[in-house]
Structures are given as C-alpha cells and as structure tokens.
Amino acid sequence: MSKTLRLILGDQLNSQHSWFSTSDDSVTYVLMEVRSETDYAVHHIQKVVGFFAAMRSFASELSKNHSVIYITLDANDNRQSFEENIIHLIEQHQFTHFEYQLPDEYRLDAILQQLCQKLSITTTVYDSEHFLSTRQELGDFFEGKKTFLMESFYRFMRKKHDVLMEGNQPLTGKWNYDEENRKKLPAQHKPIAPLVFETDVTDLVTMIQNANCKTIGTMNSKAFLWPINRGQSLELLDFFVTECLPFFGTFQDAMSPEEWSIYHSRVSFSMNVKLISPKEVIDRVIEEWQRRPEAIQYNQLEGFVRQIIGWREYMRGIYWSKMPEFAQLNYFNHQNKLPDWFWTGNTKMNCLKHSIKQSLEYAYAHHIQRLMITGNFALLAGIHPDEVDQWYLGIYIDAIEWVEITNTRGMSQFADGGIVGTKPYVSSASYIDKMSHYCGSCFYKKAIKTGEKACPFNSLYWNFYDKHQDKLSKNPRIGMMYNVWNKMKSEDKVALLEQADTYLKTINEL
C-alpha cells in the first residue's frame, strides 16, 4: 500500500491549501519544532513562541480530519533537523512517497532539494498557494532592465489581479497617493489602543527555556499578544479595517514615543506564516472601503493595498531573482559592529531608545521605525550588513529571510547598490523630528550639529555622504545634497566630520 508523508513548515499554516480539501488515510502530515530553526539566529522569545503556538494550534485543528505527526522540541526521538527527522520517519513508518510545499527561504529550499535527491522514495513538491505572484514573475517582468522599480511592478500587479482598476486604468485615475500619506500625529491625537490577544503559553515558554534556546526580548507568558490561529488573525484583520484603516495612509509614516503600532495592521506575522492570505486581506479592505466610503478615504485604502500587492510581492520577487548572491552584498564595504545598546535600548538617543525598547517588548516596530530610526542609524554608522541582518532577523515576530533580508540589506542598508531603492534611506534629525514626537524630550538637541548635545544623526549624515561621494554623487536623486555639502565652509565640514568621528569612536556610550 502506498503511504505518503507530507511536510508542513512552520510558515506554511495555510488551512485553505488544496492539500487539505480531502482527507486520505494513506497521507500523514508532519510538523516539527527543531533546533535548526530556533538556532539559525538569536530570535525574540515571542517569535519562537508565536511560531510554535501557531504550529501546535494548526496541527490540532488538522488532526480532526487528517493523520498528523507533531514532533515537539523536547520529544525524545526529535533529531532536531528537518532532514534527519524526515529520514527517520520514512524508515519508521515505511512511507513510500514524500511531499512538501515550496519553502519561502532559500536555505530550506536547498535543504529539501538535497534531501529529495538522497531519498530512495519518490517525491513531489507543491506550490504553497499563498502569494499573488510566482517566484519567477518579478525576474521575468524586469528581464533586461537595469532598475527594478517597485512602482512598475505594483502597477503590473494591480492590472493583473484587477485590483482597484477601471479597465486598464487605475480607479480614480491616479496610481499613487504617497504624498498625502506623510502626516505627523497631531499633538492631541490619540490612536485607538491596539487589539491584543491573551493566550496563555506558559508551557511553551517553559519548554523553550528548559531547552536552553538563546532568545532576546521579553514577554508575558500568561497573555501572549500575537494571533496564533486563523480565527484570531481574522479578528485582528477585522479590527484593522474597522478601527485603523480610516487613518492608515495618513499616519503610516508617523512615529510617537507613546504608541507602538499607531494605525498599522500588525497582520505581517499572520500573513507570513500563511494563517491568512494576501488575497483575503486585500478583498477585506476593499469590501470595507466599499461599505464605508465616507469614513475611509481612497488614499488610506490605496496606501494599504500598495503594501500588500506592491511591496510584499515585490520583495519576494527580488529575493528569488537575486539570491543567494544578495546575502553577500555590501556595496559600501561597511565593517562596523552594532552598538551594544541595540540589544537593550539603553541609549540617550530617544528615537532609538523607544524603537529598540518597544521591539524588545513587543517583537514589533512599524515600517518607518525599522527604516528611518534603527536602519537609518545602522547605515550612517557604517555597520556591516551581516550584523544588521542578524538583528532584524532575530528581533521581529514577522522576520522570515525572504522579506527581512530584502528590506534590510536592500531597502534599508543599500548594500545591494540600488536594486531595491533608488537612493539610500538616510536622514538627519530634521526628518525624524518632522515625523515623530521623539526629539522634544531627547538628551540630544535636534538642531545642533556639532558640540555638546549635538544630535548624532546630524554629523553622521554628512559624514556618510562625504565618505561615499564616489559611489553616490552621480546619483541624480542625491546631487542636490552634494551641492549643499560642497558649498559648506571647510571649517564647518571639518567640525562635522570630527564630530561624527568622535561619535563613532564612542558609539556604545551614545
């Protein structure tokens, strides 16, 4: 009798997958908690818990109609890697066929391909039936092109999936509402408190601690706040569309020391582990906008749709067209180490203190905090992209390499030399102050460039441009900054460079 073993990875919790539409006695599913996954980066404790709790909940639902093997981290016969466990299960249960879904990570793709070559039984690989584009689609779309402009891919996706279109033209006649979506939170404006869950995960936390997994961050194990199943994920999506979508676009770049998620959806974890799909997220936001057009202006909707079918699919396409070389890119040849306070938040720089402390507390920071606070500082301070990648890969609940590395090494660190972004995302204090309420209560002074209490972003910013003049001055989007720099008095330039040098030498004390 034929017996099939089907592997479900921790980020393949897609109950809508065609695998599950019929139950078949000859098919057994396996999910496993393994050290090869807990240990490839130092993860946030909430990230490890989030994955394992979601896997356990998924397996428990699945076992109602299917045969399921679940290997816990502390199981005696756990070989602690996918390959070893699969080989062992095939021998133990005499499976005659092995199947898996296309992994999202290059590393796991290679491991599973090699495993299949080693196995003496037949194997089949399936699509994960989650994304709106295939692995190759972006590569094909940009074939022969020098630049990979997200906007072009986004428009292609809108047309292809007929999202907010009228024939071949965008509904409303306009593709992009970015210029309406850059508002600071008004002083008296208090966003709604985020919806959080309160799942008791004490047993899981105890198991992870007993196994001596190295983790970062904190959590309340009696009240885990992230969604761990499809029901909670849909509840969070519902909360977002009813309460946050009306303000999403307007305040999507805003930052505040009092708020950790403002009007952001926080659906990245649910989507990245495939508890919910990008298609249903898009359908739900559009449906809500159609129901309440007076409450949800079009710029709020378009800003959100752009993130999902634009940025998210684009990053995945970049990943599959540029890996594995992408993981080695270091355009500026940056070599510095991350300051120690990236692991504690204990810095006098208020913007970094809040962004890092909330990341340690919630395993979350929203996009502009990741890009324009921590990422901006790491780039200006010349940190090696490997260090930056490891930090982002560990600390965020939604960090899976395909979407982490493209954002970090590409968009944030410009280590790809301009595949993802057309210019580096760097700024001095003025942008941070424009978009946040961090500067007012900071030890450093946003308007001071050199001398006592000068904001470090100010001198590091000019130091960065000065150092990389050969690589950046011909970039038409940056030329204006070099005009300003070149016109500056030489004593001012020297003072800025000396200030930056002092800060870089004492980076752990900032």
230 binds ligand FAD (CB under 6 A): no
Q: How far is the CB of 446 from ligand SF4 (least distance, A)?
A: 4
Of 392, 422, 387, nearest in space to 405 by CA? 392
79 binds ligand SF4 (CB under 6 A): no
Shortest Cβ contact with ligand SF4: which residue?
442
**Which residue from 57, 199, 299, 408 is in contact with ligand FAD, where contact means CB under 6 A?**
408
Q: Give the C-alpha separation, 224 to 227, whole Å.
A: 8
The one-letter amino acid at 175: W
Say which DSSP state 444 is in: S
Q: How far is the CB of 319 from ligand FAD (least distance, A)?
A: 10
Q: How far is the CB of 426 from ligand FAD (least distance, A)?
A: 13
Token output for 358: 């909330």
Q: How far is the CB of 221 from ligand FAD (least distance, A)?
A: 23
Could you tell me if 264 and 239 are in contact, meaning their C-beta atoms sit under 8 angstroms apart?
no
131 binds ligand SF4 (CB under 6 A): no
With residue 71 as reference, give the H or E element that holds it.
strand 67-71
Q: β-pairing, 43-44 with 67-71?
A: unpaired
264 binds, among ligand SF4, ligand FAD, none (CB under 5 to 8 A by kind): ligand FAD
Could you tell me if 232 and 240 are in contact, meaning their C-beta atoms sit under 8 angstroms apart?
no
455 binds, among ligand SF4, ligand FAD, none (CB under 5 to 8 A by kind): ligand SF4
Give 46 or 221: the residue with its C-beta nearer to ligand FAD.
46
Size of the site for ligand FAD (CB under 6 A): 27
Q: How far is the CB of 312 from ligand FAD (least distance, A)?
A: 4
Give 375 or 456: the residue with its C-beta nearer to ligand FAD.
375
351 binds ligand SF4 (CB under 6 A): yes
Q: Give the C-alpha separation, 425 to 368, whole Å.
A: 10
Could you tell me if 71 and 9 are in contact, meaning their C-beta atoms sit under 8 angstroms apart?
no
Of 249, 231, 215, nearest in space to 394 by CA? 215
12 binds, among ligand SF4, ligand FAD, none (CB under 5 to 8 A by kind): none
* Selected range binding ligand SF4 among 144-152, 169-177, 310-318, 347-355, rule: CB under 6 A: 347-355
Give 44 or 79: the residue with its C-beta nearer to ligand FAD.
44
358, 379, 380, 469 from 374: Cα distances, Å:
12, 9, 10, 23
Q: How far is the CB of 19 from ligand FAD (least distance, A)?
A: 24
Give 323 or 454: the residue with its C-beta nearer to ligand FAD.
323
Strand partners, 31: 70
Among residue numbers 454 through 483, which ones bind ligand SF4 (CB under 6 A)? Answer: 455-457
How big is the CA angle at 270 (ends 32 and 154), to the nearest 5 degrees?
Answer: 120
The one-letter amino acid at 371: L
Give 58 or 314: the residue with its C-beta nearer to ligand FAD.
314
3-state secondary structure 383-424: ECHHHHHHHHHHHCCCCCHHHHHHHHHHHHCCCCCCCCCCCC
**Which residue from 41, 102, 371, 381 is in contact with ligand FAD, where contact means CB under 6 A?**
371
307 binds ligand FAD (CB under 6 A): yes
Burial class (CB in 10 A: 0-12, 13-18, 19+), 453: exposed
464 binds ligand FAD (CB under 6 A): no
265 binds, among ligand SF4, ligand FAD, none (CB under 5 to 8 A by kind): ligand FAD
DSSP codes of every residue in 262-324 = TT----HHHHHTTSS-HHHHHHHHHHHHHH-TTTS-HHHHHHHHIIIIIIIHHHHHHHHHHTT
* Selected range binding ligand FAD among 24-32, 78-86, 155-163, 264-272, rule: CB under 6 A: 264-272
Residues lying near ligand FAD in the complex (CB under 6 A): 264-268, 271-272, 307-308, 311-312, 315, 366-367, 370-371, 375, 392, 396, 398-399, 403-404, 407-408, 411-412
Contact residues toward ligand SF4 (CB under 6 A) are: 349-351, 429, 432-433, 438-439, 442, 444, 446, 455-457
